[in-house]
Chains A and B, each alone.
Chain A
Amino acid sequence: MNEPDRDRDLMARAATGDRAAFTELMDRHEDMVFAVAMRMMRDREAAFDATQETFLTLFRKADRYSGESAVSTWLYRVATNTCLDLLRKQKRRRTEALPDHHDQPDRSAGEPLESVEVRGDIEAALSSIPHDFRAAVVLSDIEGLSIAEIGVILGVPDGTVKSRVFRGRRLLAEKLGNLVEQPGRQRTDDA
Chain B
Amino acid sequence: MHDHDLDLIAEHASGLLTGTDESRAAELVRTCETCAVEFADHTHVRTLLASAPAPTLSEFERTRLRRSVLDAVAPPKPAGAPWQRRFLAAAGAVAAIFVVVAGIGIVGQMSGGDDGFTLADGGESADTTAAAEALVPFDQSTRDALGEQAADEDADLQFEESADDAATATTAMPQLLVEVGEIDAAVLDSVLAELSAAVMDASEPLVVEEAVAFGATCALAVEDEILGLVLATVDGVSSQVFLTGDRTEPTVVILLSSDCSPPAP
Contact = CB atoms under 8 A, between A and B. Distances in A.
Given A23-B70, A52-B69, A56-B72, A30 B57 contact: yes
Interface string B212-232: 000010000000000000000
Contacts of A177: 41
A156 interface: no
Contact of B70 (A19, A38, A44): A19
A188 B45 contact: no
A19 B73 CA distance: 9
A39 B52 CA distance: 11
Nearest to B36: A184
A84 interface: no
A55 B57 CA distance: 14
Contacts of B135: none
A70 B56 CA distance: 22
B45 A189 contact: no
Contacts of A141: 45-46, 49-50
A115 interface: yes
Given A23-B70, A31-B57, A118 B52 contact: yes
A176 B48 contact: yes
Nearest to B73: A59
Secondary structure at the B interface, as helix, strand, loop or mixed, is helix
B68 interface: yes
B33 A147 contact: no
B32 interface: yes
Interface in B66-101: 66, 68-70, 72-73, 75, 93
B54 A35 contact: yes
B70 A185 contact: no
B45 to A, nearest CB: 5
A133 to B, nearest CB: 12
Given A23-B70, A141-B50, A142-B50, A172 B45 contact: yes
Interface string B38-63: 00111011101111111111000110
A48 interface: yes
A173 interface: yes
Interface stretch (A1-9, A75-83, A93-101, A162-170): A162-170
A35 B55 contact: yes
A60 to B, nearest CB: 7
A15 to B, nearest CB: 12
Given A35-B54, A47-B55, A176-B44, A191 B1 contact: yes
Given A22-B73, A169-B41, A180 B48 contact: yes
A132 B83 CA distance: 49
11 contacts: A19-B70, A22-B70, A22-B73, A30-B62, A31-B56, A35-B56, A137-B45, A162-B10, A173-B44, A180-B48, A185-B41
